[in-house]
Amino acid sequence: MAGAIASRMSFSSLKRKQPKTFTVRIVTMDAEMEFNCEMKWKGKDLFDLVCRTLGLRETWFFGLQYTIKDTVAWLKMDKKVKKQILDEKIYCPPEASVLLASYAVQAKYGDYDPSVHKRGFLAQEELLPKRVINLYQMTPEMWEERITAWYAEHRGRARDEAEMEYLKIAQDLEMYGVNYFAIRNKKGTELLLGVDALGLHIYDPENRLTPKISFPWNEIRNISYSDKEFTIKPLDKKIDVFKFNSSKLRVNKLILQLCIGNHDLFMRRRKADSLEVQQMKAQAREEKARKQMERQRLAREKQMREEAERTRDELERRLLQMKEEATMANEALMRSEETADLLAEKAQITEEEAKLLAQKAAEAEQEMQRIKATAIRTEEEKRLMEQKVLEAEVLALKMAEESERRAKEADQLKQDLQEAREAERRAKQKLLEIATKPTYPPMNPIPAPLPPDIPSFSLIGDSLSFDFKDTDMKRLSMEIEKEKVEYMEKSKHLQEQLNELKTEIEALKLKERETALDILHNENSDRGGSSKHNTIKKPQAQGRRPICI
């Protein structure tokens, strides 16, 4: 992984600012930095400054890479920076571009939040290559929708985790970390030599994705050159030696330097860690554990904050409900009091009317008795008197009935008054109960220098040779096979995700805009052989037959 990161660090531009200084722009995966360099600075001065700025301690894994005259080269530590320049392009399939973009968004914005990351929040971001955008009939909104869908699945990943997942995907790209050189075989056929962290690969000039043959580092015994002729000797002596010619002696020197550096890293990764590396790994584990504890603490605080907000909302809701109940109780009480007052007033009036009627009835009775006692001498007077008596009796009867009816009505009003006062008493009791309820419910607290067995090389005149010790090659081969199996198992889920997205957007692809690399990538995918780790097995599958390019 670290070796792969090294090949991604490159110059982006070089410009003069003033007579004694110039500016160099360094581009990494997720950062772009400018450094003011003195005219006399050498490669090591700039490299040390970059490492200090990025906080790199495992400096032996890294280097500064640039391109000059269509040739990829590494910045030489003992030469002046001003004499060395750059450019680099890597083919990336559309589905992998979307997945890489989603991890880049996770690293920049953190967890997805629909209330914050609304439609159009990626409109100003350049996340996809123009080649991919032009290849499909899809609007920017459609691309954003697919990127956001995967971005939402990365919830909970810290920035360093998202960056690590980004690198894991990037390192599997066919052209990632590969330095290409134009060569010719004995027959004069034009070929490409690719050098990367896995070994040496021979490509057809029209196909930089799939090598025709590969030489893993653990199967190479010696690499050397004499003048423009370069020789690769396999560990198995029964396999023919592969020879090719480059255009310039300088290119052979560069190829050998890359081979030595990549092979050293290959061997270093498979040897026991030095004390310094062990200390660095221990510090890295402690830092990882600290960050994990910090994330857990933040998660607990966030959970507690969310629970507190929910409790606050519930209390506010209950308080509002209690206020509404109290308002309704007060209104009911006021209505009860008004009703009681009206009933009391009406009962008093009715009682007075009843007394008045009773009094009139008594007076009528007295008048009747007086009339009966009066002697009427004549029949006419008697008849008239009887008629008056009869009328007085009817009137007295009617007054008695009206008095009785008024008395009953007064009793009914008294009963209604009693019931109204009882309702008033109950309303006051309920209001008292509401006023004495606790406002906040009880809450339960939430617990809240290299080893002596490193290969050597020698330079004699115009010839340079580099020998690899084969004492541990068989063991390394077994380890590599084991690593490949484990790697393929881990990447199975990722491949399923990429295939799913590829199926979704395939219908929108514009076939006439496909580049040669797109067609090659699709053919490799259909054959199931697009992975670097599949192509690295080819020499083993071919057995001990002669190499023919």
Report CA Rg, the chain: 49
Torsions phi, psi for 166 (to 5 deg): -60, -45
Helix (DSSP H) and strand (DSSP E) numbers for the chain: 14, 14
Q: Which tokens go with 370?
A: 């007086």
In this structure, are residues 484 and 533 in contact, taking their beta carbons and an 8 Å threshold?
A: yes
Q: How many angstroms separate the Cα of 267 from the Cα of each of 6, 217, 263, 264, 543?
A: 16, 9, 6, 5, 24
Report the alpha-carbon distance of residue 386 to residue 371 in Å, rounded. Answer: 9
76/68 Cα distance (integer angstroms): 13
Q: Rounded distance, CA 112 to CA 117, Å?
A: 7
Measured from the Cβ of residue 194, the count of other Cβ atoms closer than 10 Å reads 21
3-state class (DSSP) for residue 344: helix
Helix %, strand %, coil % of the chain (to 5): 55, 15, 30
Give the largest Cα separation in the chain, rounded: 181
- Tell me whether residue 98 is exposed, middle or buried, using C-beta atoms within 10 angstroms of its C-beta: 0 to 12, 13 to 18, 19 or more: buried
Q: If DSSP states are collapsed to H, E and C, what string results for 284-316? A: HHHHHHHHHHHHHHHHHHHHHHHHHHHHHHHHH
Known binding-site residues equal 76-79, 253
User: For helices 94-109 and 492-506, what crossing angle results, to 10°?
Assistant: 110
Check the CA dihedral 485-4-60-160 and report its sign: negative
